[in-house]
Amino acid sequence: MNDLGRLEDLPADYLAELKALNLVPLWPSLRAVLPPGQPRPNTRATFWAYKALKPLLLKAGELTPIEKAERRVLVLANPGHGLESMKASAAMYLGMQLLLPGEWAPSHRHTPNAVRMVVEGEGAWTTVDGEKCPMSRGDLILTPTGLWHEHGHDGDQPVVWLDVLDLPLVYYMEASYHINGQRQTQLPGRGDRAYLGGGMVPTPVFGRSGKAYPMLRYPWAQARAALEALAADRPDLGAVQITYVNPETGGDAQNILGFYALMLRPGQTLQLPARSPASVFHLIEGAVEVAIEAQRFTLAEADTCCAPGYTPITLRNGSATAPSFVFIADEAPLHRKLGVYEVREANGQ
């Protein structure tokens, strides 16, 4: 195919006329927006070591009281998008949030969806739409779009969690905003208790809960037990993975981003196909090496990395005697809704 015309090939007076009428010629930029074969992601394979990050997060706790911060967070920014854009990928935002003993992060609600993956500490809680959700290591807590939420801490040690939001997408759509609120009245009932049994949901005489998000807290103890049971029951299974879902619909736990827990058997190497969505990997337990094209990251517990879409990924458990457990977030639900979800074979087809 012949090269397309360049912008500098056009006369200056013609370009000036176009500019005056808010017009732009497509052909000089066509290959930039429609590259041949597959996208050219700005998202780079990037690694964030918790050992390096944690002291800076604790220092933020000394420098800025919660009253001035509202949310005390260090953003895990992908350099491929520019650090100022606060993106981990095109549709995902990541942040490490700190809450100190006795603190209360005030109630608010916002249009982006968020989840909290608890990294360390005990005694904190998140109240979402009146439901108090205790926060323990490995727990996943949803704060869906439009629901009031706040964080409190009754323990005696710092608590840290990983925030995952679809903020970049909502901001790009010019739909991002928040509203401050009053301290919530905590209501009886917890979804993680009501929907405790797999394959079983409460069935009130007059129908289901009527909530778009009936389960807000996914305890790690249950997720880990489910992975171990699956691995024991299916020794032939190559990938021991569960998906966090809405227990009433079976659909993704939230509408835009997908969330999963993966167990790597001792010494296991798992090759993931190249898929269109970008992915985030956060190590809950164990030691895992992540290979993303030519780059390799060795994840210790609480470390995080991200991978662009259309890229094959290899995960290797660094222990020959113990399993490793990984939390994964990706853009798959969004890609499916848009009809652009793809899995590429090794030959790129």
Q: What is the pTM of this model?
A: 0.95
Nearest Cα residue to 152 out of 105, 97, 96, 217: 105
pLDDT at 92: 98
pLDDT at 196: 82
Would strands 313-317 and 269-272 be described as parallel, antiparallel, or unpaired? antiparallel
Cα distances from 101 to residues 49, 107, 125, 189, 221, in angstroms, run 24, 17, 11, 25, 24
Q: Is 13 within a domain?
A: no
Four-residue CA torsion sign, 262, 330, 217, 165: positive
Q: Is 144 within a domain?
A: yes
Can you tell me the distance from the alpha carbon of 90 to that of 78, in angstroms, rounded to the nearest whole number? 10
Q: Is 15 within a domain?
A: no
Q: What pLDDT, in 10s, does the model give residues 306-328?
A: 999 999 999 999 999 999 999 99
DSSP letter at 136 equals -
CATH code, 276: 2.60.120.10
Nearest Cα residue to 128 out of 115, 110, 142, 114: 142
pLDDT at 200: 86
Q: Is 27 within a domain?
A: no
Domain count, the chain: 1
Can you tell me the distance from the alpha carbon of 186 to that of 129, in angstroms, rounded to the nearest whole number? 8
Q: Is 28 within a domain?
A: no
Q: Is 111 within a domain?
A: yes
pLDDT at 3: 73
Q: Are 159 and 153 in contact (CB under 8 A)?
A: yes
Q: Is 173 within a domain?
A: yes
Domain that holds residue 85: 46-344
Cα distances from 273 to residues 125, 279, 342, in angstroms, run 37, 12, 10
pLDDT at 210: 76
Taking 70 as the pLDDT cut, the residues of the chain under it are 1-2, 205-209, 346-349
* Backbone angles phi and psi of 20, in degrees to 5: -65, -25
pLDDT at 1: 47
Q: What pLDDT, in 10s, does the model give residues 259-315?
A: 999 999 999 999 999 999 999 999 999 999 999 989 999 999 999 999 999 999 999
